[in-house]
Structure 1
Amino acid sequence: MKDKILKKAAEKFLTLGVKNVTMDEIAADLGISKKTIYTHFSTKIKLIEATTYHVYENMEKGIKEIGNRDLNAIEEHYVIKDFALSCLKDENSSPQFQLQKYYPKIYSEINKKQKSLMENMLRKNLERGMKQGFYREDIPVNFLCRIYFIQMLGIKDRELFPETEFSTSQLVENQLEYHLRAIVTEKGLETLKSYIHNND
């Protein structure tokens, strides 16, 4: 039952935002009493914290599994992008900013974990891409690991990128292509164009 609660809470939090979902709504969707939820999570904050880590751990596991597959560096980026979007259910910015505003301690801890995960993933991808000849050998790896994370946070700012103009999937797609075009070799550019064309 605990896993079912986490799964349902994640679905609702990602869709509606952590502040907008009540324990009663989660209980009603699961067909259980609110008391049953409190048996596993003593407060809503405890449920939010557990759900946040649940989503992160699923994403971490999936990204590591993708990294162990025999993909070229460019394809790996796109597979990870698609996986992340499926995990986050094409989320808007509301869950992230509500977490940051109302639950800053949880946000800070998960942000550190996300940063570490993304830097590790990107560093391995950059090294793989250089070895495969898809990325330039002179790229500043440390800089790129950090600027990529900043970009991913930045595109979630809905004041800069209003939902009426940009969908989440469009923003992530554009940001990834922007990142790759800055670092690819001629061989990498041809592979990138081919991948975009075949998956358009």
Structure 2
Amino acid sequence: MSIEEKIITGAGELFKKYGIRSVSMDDIARHLSISKKTIYQYYKDKDEIVSLSLKKHLEYEKQEYDQIFNNTSNAIEELVKVSKCMRQDFKDMKPSLIFDMQKYHPNAWKVWLSFKNEYIKNQVMENLKRGMAEGYFREDLNPDILARLRVELVQLAFDEDVFPADQYNLRDLQLQFFNHFVHGIVTEKGRKLYQKHIDSEISNQHK
């Protein structure tokens, strides 16, 4: 890994754990055991590092999700695997991350909005259409409306005005939102298969 990649990766780890605003260039330098001067040899400011670390993280997420979308036998299995992947992604993530981007790093915020409103929304929409065709999701659904609702729910969990970080765990919030969403779209056939996957996952955790 090059020094440029190490800086972006190391900064991303700190942003995820502590939020963006509370992490300084000095913190990044200390975390990587390099001088701040070295960082400035490669990047002009923190804003550039924030944008690039976010792009790197989202590219990794996209690879993870694409792997799921291309290797599942039905829409329910896809949902379950995406849920598991999301729980891992949100583990130890600082809720203020989204707010910090929106308020202090407009370039990174545009990157996030594009990922959310294009890639995630489109994948949710395709999953909904697939599930409807397979008979696992209700046939009266509007995929476009529900896909938009789903991506906004993901972002809502980061809003500390609604869900203060000292009272709510981000991963638990996302799981609650996800389960609520799933049970609102499945047919009885879909509900049974979804529960079968969940029971199997719980059983594997206890082995």
Residue number in structure 2 paired with 1:72: 74
Shift of 1:88: 4.4
Deviations 1:105-162 (A, max 9, x none): 4213321222211111101211221222211122111111111112112122122222
Equivalent residue letter for 2:125: R
Residue number in structure 2 paired with 1:172: 174
Structure 1 runs of 4+ aligned residues shifted over 6 Å read none
Taking the TM superposition and a 5 Å limit, the aligned residue runs for 1:177-196 are: 177-196=179-198
> Aligned match of 2:46 in 44, 47, 53?
44
Structure 1: runs of 5 or more not aligned: none
Residue number in structure 2 paired with 1:23: 25
Residue number in structure 2 paired with 1:121: 123
Equivalent residue letter for 2:154: M
Local SS of the residue matching 2:26: helix
Residue number in structure 1 paired with 2:205: none
Shift of 1:193: 2.0
Are 1:146 and 2:163 an aligned pair?
A: no
Local SS of the residue matching 1:70: coil
Q: What is the alpha-carbon distance in structure 2 between the residues aligned to residue 168 and residue 116 of structure 1?
A: 23
Shift of 1:49: 1.3
Residue number in structure 2 paired with 1:102: 104
Residue number in structure 2 paired with 1:160: 162
State the identity %: 29
Cα contact 2:43–2:49 (8 A) shared by 1: yes
Deviations 1:48-71 (A, max 9, x none): 111111111111121111111124
Structure 2: runs of 5 or more not aligned: 203-207
State the TM-score, normalized to the length of structure 2. 0.88
State the TM-score, normalized to the length of structure 1. 0.91
Equivalent residue letter for 1:123: M
Residue number in structure 2 paired with 1:4: 6
Equivalent residue letter for 1:43: D
Q: What is the alpha-carbon distance in structure 1 between the residues aligned to residue 66 and residue 25 of structure 2?
A: 33
Cα contact 2:87–2:175 (8 A) shared by 1: no
Q: What is the alpha-carbon distance in structure 2 between the residues aligned to residue 90 and residue 123 of structure 1?
A: 28
* Residue 111 to residue 164, structure 1, CA distance change in 2 (3 Å): same
